[in-house]
Amino acid sequence: MIRLIDVYKEYDNGTKALKGVNMRIDDGEFVFLVGPSGSGKSTVIKLITGEIAATEGRLMVNGYNLNNIAPRQIPYMRRTLGIIFQDFRLIEKKTVYENLAFVMRAIGASNRELRRRIPYVLQLVGLEQKADRYPGQLSGGEQQRVAIARALVNNPSMIIADEPTGNLDPQRSLEIMMLLERINELGTTVLVVTHEEELVNKFTKRVVAIQDGRIISDETGGYYNGEKI
Amino acid sequence: MARKFDAGYYFSEGFHSIFTHGFMSFAAVCMIVACLLIMGSFSLLAVNLDHMLGDLEAENEFLAYIEEDYTEEQARSLQAKIEAVPNVSQVTFVTRQEALDDFLEGRETNDLLNSLPAEVLRDRYRIHVADIERLKETSEAVRQVAGVANVRAAVEIAQGFVLVRNIATGVAVVLIAILAVVSLFIIANTIKLATFYRREEIAIMKMCGATNAFIQWPFVVEGMILGLTGALIAFFAQWGLYQLVGKLIIQGNGLSLVTILPYTAMVKTILPVFCGTGALIGVGGSLLAIRKFLQV
C-alpha cells in the first residue's frame, strides 16, 4: 500500500514539483498516474522509490515510513517494488536469463531459487523460448516484456511502470498493458505512469491525474474521466 | 531466502571486472609493484644496516681503566657498580697481567718488551653495550664511577653506522608514505573506472534492492586482487634485485666488512608484509572509490 499525505517537494534549484499531493493506492489495485510532462509524475515515482525525499508531508510505502527510514532499510523497501522503465534498462551483454538472474542474485537468492523462479516469470510474459537471447536480438516489445519479467522476478508486492510504452508502437503498447493487467489479476498492485490518453481509455481503471504538482482528478474510468483539459 | 555472503559471486565479479579495463589494472599493479619495491629496498637496507650494527654491538666493547692505586680486589669490587650502569650488557674484568700478556702476544721477538712489568698497565674492564646508539652516554656514565680513571670507546664508528641507518629508515618511511598515497589513488581511479563501466548494472541493482555491501564487495575484491598481484610480483622482483645488488656489494668490497643477510632467511617476513601492504592499498583504494555508494 502506498500513502502520500500532503506531500510537497521543492528541488534544490527552487522548482516546486509537488504542491500538496494526497494519494492512496491499496494492495491489489491497478492505477494509472497521468499528466503532461513536468506535471510531477516522475517526482511521485522518485519519492516512492526512495531516490529523493519529500520536503514536507508523510509518505508510506508497503509498510515503510519513508519520512524516517534508515538508509540501510531502503534496499529492503525497494525489494517490495518492481520497477519498469521506458527505456527498458536491460544489460546488453547479458542474456535474458542472466538479466533476470542478476537481479535475483543482487538480493541474495540461491541458484536453486533462480532455476525455479526465472522459467516461471519468463513463461508469464511469454518469453520462455528466448531465455538465451541477448536484448539486442529482441524487438522493443519483447525487451519491455523482459523488463517486466525482471521487475516480477523478485516477487514484489507492487509494480511501478514509468512510461512503459513510450518506446513502443500502439499494438505492442496494448500488449504490454494487457500483460500488466494480467499481472495485476494475479495479485500484484500495479501503478502505471503514462501520458498516452488513447491507451488509458482502452481500460476501465482508476486514473489519477496530476497537473502542476497537484492532483486534479482521481476517478475510475478513462483519461481525466473523458474530459479534456 | 537471502544468503548473507556469496564469496564465489563477489570473487568472480571482481576478477572479471579487472579485464574490462585491462590497462588501468595493469597500471595499478605496476604502481603497487613500484611502491613495494622501493619500500622493500629501503627496508632491506635498513635491516642489513641494523644487522651490521648488531655485529658491531657484539664486537664493539669499550675499555674502562681503573685508577692505578687500586688493588686488584678493589678493582674487582667495581664490577657490580659498572654492571649497574644502564645499557651495559656484559662486563669482563681484565687484570694488568692479562692485559700485558695480550699485549705481548705476537710481540715475543721484541726484547725491549720482555722485561716489561705488568704495573705499567692498569687493571681494566671490557664492557659491552646493549644499544650502540647510546655508546657515548654509557661510556661517560661508566667514567663517572668512582675508581674508573678513563674510558676508551670508538664512538665515531658507532655514530656513523647509526646515522646511516637512521637516514635509510627516514628516507624509507617518507618514500613509503608518498608511494602508498600515490598507489592508493591509482587503485581508487581503477576502481572508479570499474564502477563507471558497470554504472548501469549498479543502478539496476540499487533499484531492485541490492544492499550497499552487496554492490561494494566485488570492487573490494577487485582492489584486493590487484594489490595481491602487485605484492607477489614485487616479492619476486625484490628477490632478484636483492641478489644482484648483494653480489655487486660483495664483489666491490674486498674487506668483507659488510655482511649481507640472505633473502631466503627473510622470506617469512617479507612475503606477509608485501601481501599485507598490497592488500591494504588495494582494499583502501577500492573503499575510497566506492565511498559514494554508502549514500543511497
Given a cut of 80, is residue B103 above it in pLDDT?
no
Q: Which three cell numbers stand for residue A116?
A: 525455479
Nearest-5° Cα angle at A143, A141 to A145: 70
Nearest-5° Cα angle at A41, A122 to A35: 105
Q: Any alpha helices (H) in A56-169, and if so which ranges?
A: 74-78, 96-106, 111-124, 140-153
When pLDDT is averaged across residues A70-86 and rounded to a whole number, the result is: 92
What's the Cα-to-Cα distance from B290 to each of B1, B187, B198, rounded to whole Å?
27, 11, 12
Contact B208 A72 (CB under 8 A): no
Establish if B7 touches chain A: CB-CB under 8 angstroms: no
Q: Which residue has the higher pLDDT, A151 or A72?
A: A151
Interface test with B, best of A107, A154, A160 (most B CBs within 10 A): A107
CATH of the domain at A89: 3.40.50.300
Contact A154 B9 (CB under 8 A): no
pLDDT interval class at A19 (50, 70, 90): very high
Measured distance CA(A152)–CA(A159) in Å, rounded: 8
Predicted pLDDT of residue A16 = 92
Query: How distant is the Cα of B286 from the closest Cα of chain A, in angstroms?
Result: 20
Residues of B in contact with A76 (CB under 8 A): 209
Query: How distant is the Cα of B195 from the closest Cα of chain A, in angstroms?
Result: 15
Establish if B1 touches chain A: CB-CB under 8 angstroms: yes
Task: Give tens-digit pLDDT for A190-225.
Answer: 999 998 888 898 888 999 999 999 999 998 876 655
Complex ipTM: 0.82
When pLDDT is averaged across residues B48-57 and rounded to a whole number, the result is: 74
Find the closest chain A residue to B213 by CA distance. A72
Query: How distant is the Cα of A195 from the closest Cα of chain B, in angstroms?
Result: 23
Contact B296 A74 (CB under 8 A): yes
Kindly state whether residue A134 falls inside one of the protein's structural domains: yes
DSSP state of B67: P
Measured distance CA(A21)–CA(A59) in Å, rounded: 10
Kindly state whether residue A113 falls inside one of the protein's structural domains: yes
Q: Which three cell numbers stand for residue A53?
A: 525525499
Q: Mean pLDDT in chain A?
A: 91
Kindly state whether residue A159 falls inside one of the protein's structural domains: yes
Which structural domains are found in chain B, ordered by start? 7-56+159-294 (no CATH), 61-153 (3.30.70.3040)
Measured distance CA(A132)–CA(A139) in Å, rounded: 15
3-state percent helix, strand, coil for chain B, nearest multiple of 5? 75, 10, 20
| B4 closest CA partner among B222, B211, B203 | B211
Predicted pLDDT of residue B1 = 42
Predicted pLDDT of residue B46 = 77
Q: Which residue has the higher pLDDT, B288 or A225?
A: B288
Strands (E), chain A: 2-10, 16-25, 30-34, 56-61, 64-65, 81-84, 158-162, 189-194, 205-211, 214-221
Residues of A in contact with B197 (CB under 8 A): none
Establish if B56 touches chain A: CB-CB under 8 angstroms: no
Kindly state whether residue A17 falls inside one of the protein's structural domains: no
Given a cut of 60, is residue B134 above it in pLDDT?
yes
CA B56 to chain centre: 17
Residues of B in contact with A158 (CB under 8 A): none
Contact A106 B2 (CB under 8 A): no
Contacts of A186 by beta carbon, 8 Å cutoff, 6+ apart: A124
Task: Give tens-digit pLDDT for B136-175.
Answer: 888 888 888 877 878 877 777 777 777 877 887 788 788 7
Kindly state whether residue A140 falls inside one of the protein's structural domains: yes
Predicted pLDDT of residue A229 = 47
Kindly state whether residue A53 falls inside one of the protein's structural domains: no
State how many domains chain A has.
Answer: 1
Task: Give tens-digit pLDDT for B6-37.
Answer: 788 788 888 888 887 788 788 888 888 988 88
- Across the interface, of B1, B208, B296, the residue whose CB is closest to A106 is B208
Establish if A52 touches chain B: CB-CB under 8 angstroms: no
What's the Cα-to-Cα distance from A224 to each of A26, A227, B218, B267, rounded to whole Å?
20, 5, 48, 78
Task: Give tens-digit pLDDT for B241-262.
Answer: 998 988 888 777 655 566 778 8
Contact A107 B209 (CB under 8 A): yes
**How many contacts (CB atoms, under 8 Å) link A and B?**
64
Kindly state whether residue A11 falls inside one of the protein's structural domains: no
Contact A106 B212 (CB under 8 A): no
Task: Give tens-digit pLDDT for B198-227.
Answer: 888 888 888 888 888 888 888 889 889 999
Measured distance CA(B190)–CA(B223) in Å, rounded: 8
Establish if B201 touches chain A: CB-CB under 8 angstroms: yes
| B32 closest CA partner among B192, B180, B194 | B180
Q: Does pTM top 0.80 for this prediction?
A: no
DSSP state of A147: H
Kindly state whether residue A50 falls inside one of the protein's structural domains: no
Contact B214 A110 (CB under 8 A): no
Segments forming the whole domain that contains residue A88:
28-37+76-226
